[in-house]
Chain A
Amino acid sequence: MRGARLFLIVLLLSGGGKCAAQGIGIIGINLVTDPSGIALTGSGTTAAVMSLGTVQAYGGTVPTGVTKNLNATSFTLNTIVDLQVTFLGILSPSYTLTAQLLTTDVINTWKINSKTLSTTATTITSSGAYGTTPVNFALTVPFSEAAGTFANTIEFIVTSN
């Protein structure tokens, strides 16, 4: 018994296992179609699909809510998606939002709010305000790209500050 007490005292003095934790709040997320953006399949969840259909540099049809801009050697598709982030609790005035591609793309350029994405997380904002925030999505496709089908996934990661 005395040995056990001694062990506990030594443990506390050494700091091993001495720990106090306090959990705060609940964070929530939603992806929603923006009134002026592309219609999302799965709007109101956290796994949504943007169907851009068949687009091409010259001619073709872009979906409602998407704009196409022709550049010198490429064309860019732009649209808006709403991100809803909520926090239930206190001591978190804002959130950090990062974004990344899940598949490497060395041909096309993917941007969120003018920040180029890669397969490494890029910070979009480090002081996001809770509520609904429109995020601008841009995909630039070079004329040199061969016609075909391609797909990718953008992951938004939200953490409380």
Chain B
Amino acid sequence: MQLKAPAISIILLACVFCCAARTSRNLEVQSPSQIRPIAASLALSPGVVQVKAQPGASSTHILTMTNLTGTRFGFVLEALDVVTRDGKRVFVPAGETEGGIARSAVFVPRAIVLNPGEAGKVEVTFTIPAEPKVRAVVAIFHGRTALPGTGSFMITGSLGTLITYNLSTKTEIRAGAPTISPQTDYANLQVSERLENVGQEPVVPKGTLAILRSSGELIGRVAIQPNRLLPGESFDCKVEYPHTLRAGKYRAMLSIQYEGGVQTNSVEFQVE
């Protein structure tokens, strides 16, 4: 029996998903509504690993790369530290950051070659130093497949797994004052708030925007999607209220929930 390409892809993706479930401890149950269709030629599982540990601990992770193309692909593994500079993530080569974790990476194997339709596993072990200064690393599968062509320019795609480390309970976020972008004939009401991770550990804040009448009556709520923030990282949280508000006075309440608790801010506004 010969399977056609789409059928093979679906089966492989199912296999990848099963592998992800097997290799990840305490995997979260995923809501079907939150699963987006995937049409990739390369797929890496898991995309993110969240580790809770203490300094000095080692953790081993199995990363699975699947080649869904008809071409043979080769990959070389590398670990980089992830640090925050000016509120943004930067990848730093292993060994360049004091207290980095990437320098401890041990990949088995260090490189893999995948035939069409094949999935390959790489085991990576990281050891957290006694005085760690970073809280995330990336394990990158560098695509190293040369295609024939003289005087040509090649583009290659590589994927990495982000691995974050929570090493204590010292989590804290700072939420700025919420601001309002009024609704117009062409745009919905938007409420914005700047979130900054001022703690020592990664956080994944999420929450709810509630719109209340001045009397306190709840009119509607909108879920705020989770957003990962490494220490020092900041994020402009923008939430759109998808319904039209009638003229009147209102209050927007932003309630942000994270590993260290809940922060709630509110702002009053008027719709003309």
Contacts and interface: CB of A to CB of B under 8 A. Distances in A.
Do A and B pair up? The answer is yes
Interface of A: 14-31, 40-42, 44-54, 81, 83-84, 86-93, 96, 98, 102, 121, 123, 126, 130, 139, 149-161
Interface stretch (B15-23, B98-106, B184-192, B250-258): B15-23
29 contacts: A21-B50, A21-B52, A22-B24, A22-B27, A22-B50, A23-B45, A26-B43, A26-B45, A26-B47, A31-B155, A46-B143, A47-B143, A47-B156, A50-B152, A51-B149, A81-B155, A86-B36, A87-B36, A88-B36, A89-B35, A89-B46, A123-B90, A151-B149, A153-B154, A154-B154, A155-B156, A156-B157, A157-B142, A159-B140
Given A52-B151, A89-B34, 9 more contacts: A18-B54, A20-B26, A22-B27, A28-B41, A31-B155, A45-B71, A88-B38, A123-B88, A158-B158
A54 to B, nearest CB: 8
Given A46-B41, A86-B39, A121-B91, A29 B48 contact: no
B260 interface: no
Contacts of B73: 46-47
B90 A23 contact: no
A26 B28 contact: no
B100 to A, nearest CB: 16
B28 A24 contact: yes
B271 interface: no
A51 B71 CA distance: 19
B215 interface: no
B71 A86 contact: no
A2 B140 CA distance: 44
B227 interface: yes
B57 A18 contact: yes
Contacts of A86: 36-40
Interface stretch (B159-167, B171-179, B240-248): B159-167
A86 B43 CA distance: 9
Contacts of A40: 155
List of 6 A-B pairs having minimum Cβ-Cβ separation, nearest first: A28-B40, A23-B24, A23-B46, A46-B157, A15-B54, A27-B47
B120 interface: no
A118 B198 CA distance: 32
Contact of A48 (B61, B70, B154): B154
Given A49-B152, A96-B89, A98-B91, A24 B48 contact: yes
A61 to B, nearest CB: 14
B11 interface: no
A84 B158 contact: no
A65 B149 CA distance: 19
A110 to B, nearest CB: 9
B156 A93 contact: no
B49 interface: yes
Contact of A151 (B46, B61, B88, B154): B154
Contacts of A41: 147, 149
